[in-house]
Amino acid sequence: MATPTCYSTKAFSTSSAKSPLAPATIQRREPGASDVQIEILYCGVCHSDLHFARDEWHFTQYPAVPGHEIVGRVTKVGSGVTKFKVGDSVGVGCLVDSCRTCADCQNGLEQFCAGMVMTYGGMEKQLNAPTLGGYAQSIVVTEEFVLRMPANLDLAAAAPLLCAGITTYSPMKHWKVGAGQKVGIVGLGGLGHMGVKFARAFGAHVVLFTTSPNKVEDAKRLGAHEVVVSKDEKQMAAHAGSFDFILDAVSAEHDINAYMNLLKRDGNLVLVGAPEKPLPVAAFPLLFRRRSLSGSLIGGLPETQEMLDFCGQHNITSDVEMIRMDQINEAYERMLKSDVKYRFVIDMASLK
Is residue 268 included in any domain, yes or no? yes
- Whether 205 and 142 share a structural domain: no
Is residue 118 included in any domain, yes or no? yes
Distance, in Å, from the CA atom of 259 to the CA atom of 119, rounded to the nearest integer, reads 33
| pLDDT tens-digit readout, 58-111 | 999 999 999 999 999 999 999 999 999 999 999 999 999 999 999 999 999 999
- Whether 10 and 114 share a structural domain: yes
Q: Which domain holds residue 221?
A: 164-295
Ranges of the chain with pLDDT below 70: 1
- Whether 278 and 204 share a structural domain: yes
- Specify the number of domains making up the chain: 2
| pLDDT tens-digit readout, 213-225 | 999 999 999 999 9
Distance, in Å, from the CA atom of 130 to the CA atom of 31, rounded to the nearest integer, reads 17
Is residue 1 included in any domain, yes or no? no
Distance, in Å, from the CA atom of 254 to the CA atom of 263, rounded to the nearest integer, reads 17
- Whether 188 and 234 share a structural domain: yes
- Whether 125 and 221 share a structural domain: no
Is residue 40 included in any domain, yes or no? yes
Type of residue at 243: F
Is residue 266 included in any domain, yes or no? yes
- CATH of residue 204: 3.40.50.720
Q: If DSSP codes are grouped into helix, strand and coil, which group holds residue 75?
A: strand
- Whether 31 and 139 share a structural domain: yes
- Whether 129 and 172 share a structural domain: no
pLDDT at 274: 85
Final residue belonging to a domain, choices 265, 295, 325? 295
- Decide: residue 228, CB within 10 A, 0-12 exposed, 13-18 middle, 19+ buried: buried
- CATH of residue 319: 3.90.180.10
- Whether 338 and 205 share a structural domain: no
Looking at every residue in the chain, the average pLDDT score rounds to: 96
pLDDT at 252: 87
- Whether 181 and 278 share a structural domain: yes
Give, for 44, the enclosing helix (H) or strand (E): strand 35-45
Final residue belonging to a domain, choices 252, 280, 295? 295
Is the pTM here over 0.85, yes or no?
Answer: yes
Q: If DSSP codes are grouped into helix, strand and coil, which group holds residue 301?
A: helix
Final residue belonging to a domain, choices 295, 325, 343? 295
- Whether 184 and 224 share a structural domain: yes
- Whether 242 and 334 share a structural domain: no
Is residue 333 included in any domain, yes or no? yes
- Whether 186 and 279 share a structural domain: yes
